[in-house]
């Protein structure tokens, strides 16, 4: 274990780099609170999405790295901002008109349109927790409503009243002049209507712990205690105040928050806590290079990814280059699956240093499983294509001929992948397949390959079959890549594909001969 810790202290893997930064906070003395606190925040105005997964998954990776290099205990808190007022009625809920009268009320005071929980906020919190539990994340959940109402925020709220002018000065610098006139860091919750009020303060009394303002509806002057859930903070001050109240050591967020970081940090320091370490990740892009957003619905949802691939492949995608903007669309899924399994296979023979740089160590927290994938996912897709597979049992017929000892029971990830491949092929590959006729040179080469395969009487060996494919092409094509492109476009209706020798071994020699004959006869173009 000591060797692993040593390797972690020099590892270039980004979770270890972040973990070492956090450790440096406590190089002089351990934390007085007895642990290092990681936090992720969540706005429960809608259902959890892929960004939520990414944030918790990446924070967990850093936490695991920290645990490897330090014996200081850790906690991960998932904080739900469920005291926020509902700004608009979501379009994807039943009977949305019934929610109109509850605008600006805290989400935990809005009736649940699904009629399953005591409020809309409770419903979305339950969805979040179920979501996090599905992926096995270890975390503690905190509701802002409970946090404010129970008095856990009281000390920081009173301190914010004492430091009101100082915090306001930080905020006002970031606001337009018009907004400056009415802005306050405190948002009273109306004692009668229950609405979150955006009103200017007439008085902030730190000694009494109260705020005074005019009721926007009646015009009457009102005074409320700051404590006990009567008042909440605006979201930017809330961010920094939460860090101070919980004594947060680390939080990551998307690039869209990065301009606010100096504000969060300043408020946190004013309220008496050293600003936490940050990690800003790049946002995901859709297939057209546009930013993915919940409201526009572009990109891939969690459920969609898990329809076509495993959760581990999604974690692998999240691990890769978090500070680089990446396209996140359906066509990245096969590559993520295959690379994940490549890394699993590589892990077996790696030393400690290489293992800590391997994404699978971070995905599985050091408890790395063995890959039972006998065939790459991309190969399964090609197999599904040529066999017109409607279910995974059809693929298993080919798989078991290629690997007689394999079964769905002994190779569960292979079985799962076969089901995913059929689904992915029918939804994405099949509609886009475009076959073409061979050129004269390609026709000659395909005939030669067919004849070589007809004469072949060896085992279903990837390398032996690849040698045949290679030798046919080497004599006729320069560059050789043109030969493989022709095989994919003419036989598979795709622009790229697997190692063709491996494909023949899996699909079968006789079957490949028949496929070539179909292509030469122009039958695939009609398909």
CA dist 247 and 338 (Å) reads: 41
CA dist 130 and 413 (Å) reads: 24
Locate tokens 């007022």: which residue? 85
CB-hemisphere CA count at 13 Å for 386?
27
CA dist 37 and 72 (Å) reads: 10
CA atoms 59, 64, 68, 70: torsion sign = positive
The total number of residues written for the chain in this structure:
527
Q: How far apart are the first and last CA of the chain?
A: 58
Backbone angles phi, psi at 149, to 5 degrees: -65, -35
* DSSP letter for each residue of 282-293: PPEE-TTSPBP-
Determine contact, residues 99/89, Cβ cutoff 8 Å.
yes
- For 104-152, the three-class secondary structure string (H helix, E strand, C coil) is CCEHHHCCCCCCCCCCHHHHHHHHHHHHHHHCCCCCEEEEHHHHHHCCC
Determine contact, residues 243/264, Cβ cutoff 8 Å.
yes
Determine contact, residues 44/107, Cβ cutoff 8 Å.
yes
Tokens (6 digits) for 157: 């709220």
CA dist 266 and 91 (Å) reads: 37
- Paired with 222 in beta bridges are 213
Q: What angle do CA 475, 477, 482 make, to 5 degrees?
A: 145
Paired sense of beta strands 210-214 and 221-225, if any = antiparallel
Determine contact, residues 250/37, Cβ cutoff 8 Å.
yes
Nearest in space to 68 (alpha carbons), one of 368, 366, 369: 366
294 known ligand binder? yes
Nearest in space to 385 (alpha carbons), one of 431, 339, 416: 431
E-assigned strands of 415-517?
none
CA dist 225 and 238 (Å) reads: 17
Determine contact, residues 272/245, Cβ cutoff 8 Å.
no
CA dist 497 and 475 (Å) reads: 21
Count of Cβ atoms closer than 10 Å to residue 386 Cβ: 19
Feature table: binding site: 294
Feature table: binding site for ATP: 294
């Amino acid at each position: 274990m000591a060797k692993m810790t040593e390797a972690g202290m020099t590892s270039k893997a980004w979770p270890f780099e972040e973990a070492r930064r956090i450790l440096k906070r406590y190089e002089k003395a351990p934390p007085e609170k007895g642990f290092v606190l990681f936090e992720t925040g969540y706005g429960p105005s809608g259902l959890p999405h892929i960004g939520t997964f990414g944030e918790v998954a990446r924070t967990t990776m850093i936490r695991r790295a920290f645990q490897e290099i330090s014996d200081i205990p850790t906690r991960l808190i998932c904080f739900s901002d469920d005291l926020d007022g509902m700004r608009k009625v979501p379009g994807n809920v039943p009977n949305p008109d019934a929610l109109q009268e509850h605008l600006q009320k805290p989400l935990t005071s809005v009736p649940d349109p699904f009629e399953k929980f005591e409020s809309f906020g409770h419903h979305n919190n339950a969805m979040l927790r179920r979501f996090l539990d599905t992926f096995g994340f270890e975390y503690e959940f905190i509701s802002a409503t409970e946090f404010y109402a129970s008095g856990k925020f009281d000390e920081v709220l009173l301190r914010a009243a004492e430091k009101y002018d100082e915090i306001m000065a930080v905020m006002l610098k970031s606001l337009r002049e018009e907004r400056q006139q009415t802005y306050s860091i405190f948002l009273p919750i109306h004692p009668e209507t229950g609405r979150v009020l955006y009103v200017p303060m007439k008085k902030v009394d730190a000694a009494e712990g109260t705020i005074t303002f005019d009721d926007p509806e009646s015009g009457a002057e009102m005074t409320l205690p700051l404590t006990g859930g009567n008042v909440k903070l605006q979201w930017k001050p809330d961010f920094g105040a939460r860090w101070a109240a919980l004594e947060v050591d680390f939080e990551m967020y998307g690039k869209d928050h990065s301009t606010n970081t100096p504000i969060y940090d300043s408020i946190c320091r004013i309220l008496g806590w050293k600003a936490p370490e940050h990690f800003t990740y790049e946002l995901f892009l859709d297939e057209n290079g546009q930013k993915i957003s919940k409201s526009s619905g572009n990109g891939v949802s969690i459920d969609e990814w898990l329809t076509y691939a495993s959760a581990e492949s999604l974690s692998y995608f999240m691990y890769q280059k978090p500070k680089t903007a990446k396209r996140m669309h359906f066509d990245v899924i096969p590559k993520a699956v295959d690379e994940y399994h490549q890394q699993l296979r590589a892990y077996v023979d790696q030393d400690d240093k290489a293992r800590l740089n391997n994404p699978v160590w971070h995905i599985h927290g050091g408890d790395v499983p063995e890959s039972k994938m006998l065939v790459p996912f991309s190969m399964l897709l090609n197999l599904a294509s040529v066999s017109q597979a409607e279910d995974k049992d059809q693929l298993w017929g080919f798989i078991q001929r290629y690997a007689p000892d394999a079964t769905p029971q002994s190779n569960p990830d292979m079985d799962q992948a076969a089901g995913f491949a059929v689904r992915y092929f029918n939804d994405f590959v099949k509609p886009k397949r475009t076959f073409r006729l061979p050129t004269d040179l390609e026709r000659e080469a395909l005939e030669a390959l067919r004849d070589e395969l007809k004469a072949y009487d060896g085992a279903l060996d990837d390398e032996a079959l690849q040698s045949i494919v290679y030798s046919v092409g080497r004599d006729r094509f320069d560059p050789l890549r043109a030969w493989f492109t022709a095989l994919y476009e003419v036989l598979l209706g795709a622009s790229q594909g697997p190692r063709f020798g491996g494909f023949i071994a899996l699909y079968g020699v006789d079957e490949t001969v028949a496929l070539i004959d179909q292509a030469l006869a122009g039958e695939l173009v009609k398909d």
